[in-house]
Structures are given as structure tokens and as C-alpha cells.
Chains A and B, each alone.
Chain A
């Protein structure tokens, strides 16, 4: 079967200074003091995996294990220091919902702006416009600037825009928990729909039960290294053992 994502020997180095330096003055004073040193921080160390079409891959690990970095690398936001990443197909990253929302604009204007940022065409947005409003349950407020929206309404709108596509590769970073309980369930179902619609999915969550429910394969990362990569049951079992969580 065709591989949709191939990650080969990818390493990602961040240069971290002890203090954030981003002005001329700071660079100058630090250079004078002889303190202009950068610590290299290896966020990912020689990570390789591949994912077949239509499969769902879960990423687990502690905070700082490199999960988000992996997602950002695959969605093209970051470039790897070493190694190659090959993706086949259009990617919709749901790393943060509502990125690019403009508070001064109305809901309707934001649908078009945010849609354009996510790479949708004008025609596509026009055809899906009603679906988006319907799903977000904000029809009465659509011509209102979103600075007047509640945070729940904004999150619902953002999720509706992001999830209206049929992406070939979907990248999800723990965003299912938006809105009230009813909407959470609705959005979870929408996610499952997307996944069963043939999309290849990368999914990050701390909720092992959700991972077990949704993923075909799991990769376990710790401090930038792959601890384990394999079938969901196997990896989750080992992970629970290591974490000392009882089944």
C-alpha cells in the first residue's frame, strides 16, 4: 500500500540561549560580556516512521517528548535540521483552531479569511458556507464581529471551518475538547467521520483511551527519541507499564 507520510532519520535541533536574545542591544551586551552562547537542544533525534494511506497514527509521550515538533515538521511549518520528510497529498493541520481569526471581522468574514488561510478555495468555501454555520450553531450571530462571541462560540466556529474539508492528511493536536459537552460529542463524531472517510491521520493526545479507540498504530516518543512504534495495543500496554498506570 502507498505510504502517505514517510519520515526518514529526522532530527530537529533548536538553538536555545539561556535568556531570550532578540534585540541588537541584547546581542551586543551579551557579546561584550562573552555570554553569547547557545545551547543546542535536540527536540527530535533520528526519528523514522511511515504511515500508509487511510491509517491513523497516534503520538504519545510526556510533555516535551517531541510530539508537537513532529506534527509541525510534517505540516511544513518547521524544516528538519537533518533527514527528509515526504508527504503525498494535501495536509490540513489542526494544530490550533482559529489561527488567524480577526476579532474585528464578522463571523462570516472570518469564515472566508480562516478558510483561505487553511488553503480552501473560494468556490469550496461558498459551497460549504451553510454547513459551517449549521455545524457551529451560530447562524444568528454570523454578521456580528467575533469580538462579541463567547470563547465557546469562537471555538465552535473554528472547529467547523477546520473540519469541513476532506483532507488526504489530517493532523490533529488535542483539540477535540471544544465547546460544551454536547458539542464535544458532535465534534468527536465529526472527527471519526473524517478519519473513516479515507483520510490519513496523525493524532496527538494524552488520553490513552481515545488513542486506543481511534488509532491503528502508535508511536511513543521520549525526549525526542522513538521508544516504540507499532500496533496500538502493544505500544499502549508498554506505555502504561512504563508510566505505572494500571489497566
Chain B
């Protein structure tokens, strides 16, 4: 590797970093400056119900607000599955001042599903204050509704016509607080950038002095083997589609067909709860198919190339790496139907949709890490191929792909929180469908998931690779 080339690469790395942090600042927008409030109150699970609310009755509940900027309230009614009529009104009060109100016909109130109160501007400056949620109606007896309640929440009471009842109404309140990361964004990226620059300058000097260095070795390896990797990727593609009539068009068609089938099956269940369900579904299908294909292809990449590995010297990581690259290209192709679906189904694509690629990149690195780990394991335990196909099935059902994340009961939510795929797919969807950036924490989490995976994968692979030739 020549001095000039190395210099060019390092300058490129620094410029890419700069470009990324600057564009992220603008794309991230408010989400960098604010984060979901720690004072959010989640919807409790309904275990009871108030008495029927009819004309003249007032239901209210006091609570202390801990949110800096209130964005949304939700509340759940039941109509006892009857035909209700009249008007119902839900309001949030600060003392005697109504902050936000939602008045609607009872006919339009959905049965045991959320009704939202959304102020035009987020309500600010009420952190630490006592607020009151009030509900009244014009309904006649047997034509009214009731609010779902939970008795599980301690130390809270509901006021029903002046009478105190133990428990809480089923309501949620969400908003955002100022984010300390947002305040110090430029400080943080500046420090990271300076560290990166220092590392590269140090590496460059080491190189000039003729000392070996991991970064230089890695870059040299990429340049040395790029032709081989490209040939292996081309082979994957050519031999995959060689004798099929539609050829590479299948990469395009496959996610669309999967989505259509799942859409037909699941749309009646989940359509109402989800904004733009087909796009939600398709983005999940595209991401998970990639994960599935990539890890499964990596799994057999070493054992399947046994003849090569025992006869020619090639760095072995080339095999899982080239498989990951071919799967990523496949992913790129399947983004075309996703884009088309967005346009056809009326998703308003904003510049923030570009942040989608950050999460895709994390997903790719994460899959490569798993792939390295599996390919090494496969050499020693052939059973892993069968285990893995079961595991991916379980993983698919444990990830909100065709169902919305909200339907998972609170007590099982922790499973989803530790599921990296949920974070990759969920955040990617937020960028694409809602056109907003997730909060900065999400970027850090996804980065960490990818980083830990690739570290574990690379470490396992490096530790065991010298034994591959003996076991193949």
C-alpha cells in the first residue's frame, strides 16, 4: 500500500464522518434536541370499569404531571357493546383552565380502543403541577359509556360524581423533555471526531515508521482481496438465478409476494392500529428476510466451501463476508419495491427517511457478526443448521414484523427491548413511515447491538479459524 493511497483513504474517512454528523444534525432535527419524557404515563392494563357515565355525571382523576412538553393523551372507553348515543367530552384541566379537549359523538367512540387528545402545540411549563382529567357526557341511561379502569396502580383514586374510587382510569400521557445530548451535540461529535483524527494520524505515522498496524493491515486486506470478494459475490448472484426465467427479478418480487400474503392474512387484525399497514409490513418483511437470508447463507459459507478451504489458502473470513455482501445487494434490490409501495400508498417521504439507512447499516453489521459466529460454529456442530432455522422462526414471531409493537402485553415488553431486530426494524420504520428521526438513544443502542455482535462474531471466528481445515 502506498503512502499517498493511505493518506487519501484517511482523508476520505474524516470527510465522510464530517458529512455524516452535519447531515445528521439537520435530519435528526427536533429529535436530537428532545427525547421521550421520563414522566410519560403508560396505559395500564384494564382490570375494571367505572359505572356508566350518563348526563350529569362527571368522572375526574388528578395526577401530578412530570412531563416538560405534553404531546398526547389517550383514554379507553367501553360502551358495553351497546349502541350508545349522545356526546362525550374528555378534557385536561390545570386548575380551572382547560388545556385540551376532545368532544365526540358516542357513536364514533371505538369499543375498548384508544381515543386521543392532541393539543395543537405541545403543552409546556407544567412539570410538577397537579392536572385533572375530566369526562362528562350527554348520554341517557343505558346509552352511555364507561371508562376502563385498572386497580393495579397503587395510591390513586378516581372521582366519580364526588365519590372516591380506588384505582386509576385507563389513560396514558406522553410528551418529551429537553435532551442533554442535543445541547452538547457538537461537543460530543467534536470530541469523537478529534479522537478519530488523532487515531488516523497516529496510524499514519506508525506506518511511515514501518511498524505494522491493525488499521493499515485491515485496509490493505480490503484492497488485496476486493477482486476475490467481487468474484465470489458475482458467483453467488449468477449461480442463484442462473436457470430461473425471471432471474434477478425474484429479488424484487419475493418481498412483494411475502408482503401480499401476510397482508391478506393479517390485515384484518392489525390494520386499524397501524399507520400505513402495508408499508409497515413490507419494511419489516424486507429487513427480516435480509437477516434470515444473510445468516443462513453465512452459516454454510465455511462448510459449503470445504473443498476450497482445504486446498487453497484464502483468508477464511472472506466467505461469510462475501455472502453478507451479496445479501446486502439483494436487500438493496428489495428496497425498490419498498420505495414503490411508499409512493403508491401515499407515504410522505421526507429527508428524514434517509436515516433509514443508518439502521439498515446496523442491521447488516449485526447480521455479519451473527453470520461469522454461526459459520464458525457450523464447522464443529453440524446440528446448528437445523437449530438455527427453528431459532429464526422464533425470532421472527418475537419481532413485531406483521403485528404492531403496541399489542405486546406490558409484562412481555422486556423481551422486545432486548431484541436487536426490534430496534433496527422499529427505528427504520419510524424514519421511513413517520418521517422523523428516533431519539438519539436509539442510534446508540443500535450501534452497540451491531458492535457487540460483530465483536463476538469476529472473536469466535478468529479463535477457531485455524482448526477449520482439520474438521472440514
A112 to B234, CA, bound (A): 10
State the Cβ distance, A129 to closest chain B Cβ, in Å: 14
A69 to B243, CA, bound (A): 39
Interface assignment of A72: CB less than 8 Å from any CB of chain B: yes
- B311/A95 in contact, CB under 8 A: yes
Closest residue of chain A to B310 (Cβ to Cβ) is: A77
> What are the residues of chain A within 8 A of B313 when measuring CB–CB?
75-77, 91, 93
- B312/A116 in contact, CB under 8 A: no
Chain B residue total in the interface (Cβ 8 A): 29
- B311/A77 in contact, CB under 8 A: yes
- One digit per residue, 1 when the CB lies within 8 angstroms of any chain B CB and 0 when it does not, for chain A 109-125 equals 10011001111011000
A72-B469, A77-B469 are contacts. A95–B312 as well, Cβ < 8 Å? yes
- B228/A117 in contact, CB under 8 A: yes
Closest residue of chain B to A93 (Cβ to Cβ) is: B312
Interface positions, chain B 210-235, Cβ under 8 Å from A, are: 227-228, 230-232, 234-235
- A105/B238 in contact, CB under 8 A: yes
- B383/A15 in contact, CB under 8 A: no
- B238/A15 in contact, CB under 8 A: no
- A24/B383 in contact, CB under 8 A: yes
State the Cβ distance, B241 to closest chain A Cβ, in Å: 10
A109 to B232, CA, bound (A): 11
> What are the residues of chain A within 8 A of B308 when measuring CB–CB?
99-100, 117
A75 to B313, CA, bound (A): 6
Interface assignment of B380: CB less than 8 Å from any CB of chain A: yes
State the Cβ distance, B238 to closest chain A Cβ, in Å: 6
Closest residue of chain B to A118 (Cβ to Cβ) is: B312
Interface assignment of A143: CB less than 8 Å from any CB of chain B: no
- A100/B312 in contact, CB under 8 A: yes
A214 to B338, CA, bound (A): 63
Closest residue of chain A to B307 (Cβ to Cβ) is: A99
State the Cβ distance, A76 to closest chain B Cβ, in Å: 4
With beta carbons under 8 angstroms apart, the residue of A14, A96, A105 that contacts B307 is A96
With beta carbons under 8 angstroms apart, the residue of A24, A78, A99, A102 that contacts B312 is A99
With beta carbons under 8 angstroms apart, the residue of A15, A76, A78, A105 that contacts B239 is A105
A27 to B471, CA, bound (A): 14
> What are the residues of chain B within 8 A of A93 when measuring CB–CB?
311-313
Interface assignment of A79: CB less than 8 Å from any CB of chain B: yes
With beta carbons under 8 angstroms apart, the residue of B234, B311, B381 that contacts A99 is B311
- A104/B307 in contact, CB under 8 A: no
State the main secondary structure of chain B at its contact with A.
helix
- A102/B383 in contact, CB under 8 A: no
Interface assignment of A150: CB less than 8 Å from any CB of chain B: no
Interface size grouping (class) on chain A: 20 to 34
- A22/B235 in contact, CB under 8 A: no
- B471/A22 in contact, CB under 8 A: yes
State the Cβ distance, B237 to closest chain A Cβ, in Å: 11
> What are the residues of chain A within 8 A of B234 when measuring CB–CB?
109, 113
A15-B470, A25-B383, A99-B307 are contacts. A104–B312 as well, Cβ < 8 Å? no
> What are the residues of chain B within 8 A of A127 when measuring CB–CB?
none
A118 to B235, CA, bound (A): 15
A128 to B160, CA, bound (A): 90
- B312/A77 in contact, CB under 8 A: yes
A78-B470, A102-B235, A104-B239 are contacts. A96–B311 as well, Cβ < 8 Å? yes
A117 to B380, CA, bound (A): 24
From B309, B313, B470, residue with most partner A Cβ within 10 Å: B313
- A22/B380 in contact, CB under 8 A: yes
A24 to B238, CA, bound (A): 34
Interface assignment of B348: CB less than 8 Å from any CB of chain A: no
> What are the residues of chain A within 8 A of B231 when measuring CB–CB?
112-113, 116-117
- B238/A104 in contact, CB under 8 A: yes
Interface assignment of B130: CB less than 8 Å from any CB of chain A: no
Interface assignment of A39: CB less than 8 Å from any CB of chain B: no
Interface assignment of A243: CB less than 8 Å from any CB of chain B: no
> What are the residues of chain B within 8 A of A145 when measuring CB–CB?
242
A102 to B308, CA, bound (A): 11
- A121/B312 in contact, CB under 8 A: no
A27 to B381, CA, bound (A): 9
- One digit per residue, 1 when the CB lies within 8 angstroms of any chain A CB and 0 when it does not, for chain B 305-332 equals 1011111111000000000000000000
State the Cβ distance, B160 to closest chain A Cβ, in Å: 61
State the Cβ distance, A91 to closest chain B Cβ, in Å: 7
- B243/A104 in contact, CB under 8 A: yes
Closest residue of chain A to B465 (Cβ to Cβ) is: A79
Interface assignment of B406: CB less than 8 Å from any CB of chain A: no
- One digit per residue, 1 when the CB lies within 8 angstroms of any chain A CB and 0 when it does not, for chain B 383-412 equals 110000000000000000000000000000
State the Cβ distance, A151 to closest chain B Cβ, in Å: 16
> What are the residues of chain B within 8 A of A117 when measuring CB–CB?
228, 231, 308, 312, 314
> What are the residues of chain A within 8 A of B235 when measuring CB–CB?
102, 105, 109, 113
A96 to B307, CA, bound (A): 9
- A78/B381 in contact, CB under 8 A: no
- One digit per residue, 1 when the CB lies within 8 angstroms of any chain A CB and 0 when it does not, for chain B 229-271 equals 0111011001100110000000000000000000000000000
Interface assignment of B466: CB less than 8 Å from any CB of chain A: yes
> What are the residues of chain B within 8 A of A27 when measuring CB–CB?
381
Interface assignment of B382: CB less than 8 Å from any CB of chain A: yes
- A121/B239 in contact, CB under 8 A: no
A118 to B311, CA, bound (A): 10
> What are the residues of chain B within 8 A of A91 when measuring CB–CB?
313
Closest residue of chain A to B224 (Cβ to Cβ) is: A119
- B470/A23 in contact, CB under 8 A: no
28 contacts between A and B (CB under 8 A): A15-B470, A22-B471, A23-B382, A23-B383, A25-B383, A27-B381, A75-B312, A75-B313, A76-B313, A77-B313, A79-B466, A93-B313, A95-B311, A96-B307, A96-B311, A99-B311, A100-B312, A102-B235, A104-B243, A105-B238, A109-B234, A113-B234, A116-B231, A116-B232, A117-B228, A117-B231, A119-B228, A145-B242
**Top 8 closest pairs, chain A to chain B, by CB:** A76-B313, A116-B231, A116-B228, A104-B239, A99-B311, A96-B311, A24-B383, A79-B466
- B: residues with CB less than 8 A from A are 227-228, 230-232, 234-235, 238-239, 242-243, 305, 307-314, 380-384, 466, 469-471
Beyond the given A77-B312, A116-B231, please list 6 additional residue pairs across the A-B interface where CB-CB is below 8 A. A77-B310, A91-B313, A100-B312, A104-B238, A104-B242, A116-B228
